[in-house]
Amino acid sequence: MNEALLRARKGAFVVGCVFVWSILSFHWLFKKPLLESIYWTVITIAGVGYSQSVDVEVPPMRQVISIVVILIGMVSVAYTLGMLIQAIVEGQLDKALGEKRMRKEIEKLEDHVIVCGFGRIGQNLAHRLARHRVPFVVIDPCPETIAEAQKHGYICLEADATEENVLRAAGLDRASTIVFGIQSDPDNVFLTLTVRNMNPDVKIVARGEDPRTEKKLVQAGADQVVMPAIIGAERIADVIVRPEASDLLRSIGSESGLNADLEEFKFTAESAYTGRTVREAEESFEQLMIVAVRRPDGETVFNPKDDEVLTAGDIVILMATEAEIEKFYETCVAPRREAALV
């Protein structure tokens, strides 16, 4: 909670205590009716007052109580109102500045990924994209979800991804890929149609829950449809039907103790190892193996020979630890990297 709002709550608590103490004091000490005690307390704290002359019938104790109530009450009310105003102003200002900063960051992006929906799939996808330093923008209408994304430093928009102006704000015209992580199949179909009309060249990866929706998504313009339920079922079936093969596949995954992973990079003319052999590339690293090379003409060379020459446009698929993959990127691919395989 906003710090100013917490202070305002404390101030309101003090005002309430003053009200209760003042009302009970005049009701019990001076035998005034309860309604009159409440009335006197309200006009005293509100600053309305009585008259500039002191009534001779008012005893000194009552005057002292009046002074205390006026001083504490007025200060408490002013403090509470001040903190409330500060909380409102700070909240609106922070939100406005945050949105402005996010839009400036988005304007700098080129060939980025737009992630629509920051649920479980969107969160895992964003984590993996961030790990591999792929620029992306998250769109989600839930304030709590966006707050979670902001904690990780992600560029995000708190908005409805089905609106065209939101997609434009996310840089759809410059994006390379857009991913629909929304659980609703009708929304994903609608989004696919909208995005395909706005940008015919962007790659669309859509999530589907019902197998019957896959055909509709493809017809609407999706390049690839992912069915999480089917993928999960296949993984469970692998564990049951072929447990050894499943363990082997898991052993080279990022969750294993080896912390090995498969990654792909596209070589450009600026890449350090363009024109050099597979052996030269592998020997520069401790734990790295090039498992396949896809040539620009579409030919894929599995388990390439040591003297295989790497050329510009080649897509290199390698297996290594996360640290080695990062080092390979810095040494062999920078300053340009393109995700190429799906």
**Residue 342: pLDDT over 50:** no
Q: What is the mean pLDDT of residues 51-80?
A: 65
The pLDDT value given to residue 55: 53
- Sorting pLDDT into bands at 50, 70 and 90, what band is 38? confident
Q: How far apart are CA 324 and CA 257, in angstroms?
A: 15
- Sorting pLDDT into bands at 50, 70 and 90, what band is 339? very low
Could you tell me which of 296, 294, 298, 288 has the C-alpha nearest to residue 319? Answer: 288
Could you say which of 37, 71, 101 is where a domain stops? 101
59 and 91, same structural domain? yes
Cis peptide before 335 (omega within 30 of 0): yes
Q: What is the mean pLDDT of residues 54-61?
A: 59
**Residue 151: pLDDT over 80:** yes
83 and 28, same structural domain? yes
Q: What is the mean pLDDT of residues 259-263?
A: 69
228 and 114, same structural domain? yes
126 and 185, same structural domain? yes
Distances in Å between the Cα of 320 and the Cα atoms of 51, 260, 273, 296, 312 are 86, 5, 17, 23, 22
Ranges 61-75, 146-160, 166-180: which has the least confidence: 61-75
53 and 158, same structural domain? no
Could you tell me which of 328, 341, 308 has the C-alpha nearest to residue 133? Answer: 328
Q: How far apart are CA 46 and CA 20, in angstroms?
A: 15
- Sorting pLDDT into bands at 50, 70 and 90, what band is 63? low
Residue 237 lies in a domain: no
Q: What is the mean pLDDT of residues 75-97?
A: 65
- Sorting pLDDT into bands at 50, 70 and 90, what band is 53? very low
Residue 248 lies in a domain: no
* Upper half-sphere CA count for residue 214 (Cβ side, 13 Å): 11
The pLDDT value given to residue 57: 61
Number of domains in the chain: 3
Q: Tokens 């600026």 sit at which residue?
A: 270
**Residue 26: pLDDT over 70:** yes
Q: Which amino acid is at 256?
A: S
The pLDDT value given to residue 336: 44
The CATH number of the domain holding residue 88 is 1.10.287.70
Q: Which residue has the higher pLDDT, 150 or 252?
A: 150
Residue 250 lies in a domain: no
Q: Which alpha helices (H) appear in the chain, and where do they start and end?
A: 3-28, 34-45, 60-107, 120-131, 143-151, 164-169, 185-198, 213-220, 228-241, 243-251, 278-283, 322-328
Residue 244 lies in a domain: no
Residue 238 lies in a domain: no
**Residue 195: pLDDT over 90:** yes
Average pLDDT along the chain: 79
125 and 95, same structural domain? no
278 and 220, same structural domain? no
Q: How far apart are CA 205 and CA 22, in angstroms?
A: 66
Q: Tell me the sheet residues that pair with 320.
A: 261, 288
- Sorting pLDDT into bands at 50, 70 and 90, what band is 238? confident
Residue 255 lies in a domain: no
Q: Which domain holds residue 20?
A: 3-101
The CATH number of the domain holding residue 272 is 3.30.70.1450
Residue 269 lies in a domain: yes
268 and 199, same structural domain? no
Q: What is the pLDDT of residues 269-300, one digit of tens each?
A: 888 888 889 888 888 887 788 889 999 988 88
The CATH number of the domain holding residue 207 is 3.40.50.720
201 and 97, same structural domain? no
Residues in CB range of 265: below 8 A, 6 or more apart: 315, 316, 318, 328, 329, 332, 333, 337
Q: What is the pLDDT of residues 88-134, one digit of tens each?
A: 665 555 555 566 778 888 888 889 999 999 988 889 899 888 877 88
73 and 14, same structural domain? yes
State the DSSP code for 277.
Answer: B
Could you say which of 74, 101, 128 is where a domain stops? 101
Q: What is the mean pLDDT of residues 298-321?
A: 88
- Sorting pLDDT into bands at 50, 70 and 90, what band is 254? very low
8 and 52, same structural domain? yes
Q: What is the mean pLDDT of residues 147-162?
A: 88
Percent of the chain with pLDDT over 90: 16
**Residue 177: pLDDT over 90:** yes
- Sorting pLDDT into bands at 50, 70 and 90, what band is 196? very high
Count of other CB atoms within 10 angstroms of residue 10: 13
**Residue 253: pLDDT over 80:** no
The pLDDT value given to residue 289: 85
175 and 76, same structural domain? no
Q: Tokens 């009200």 sit at which residue?
A: 19
Residue 340 lies in a domain: no
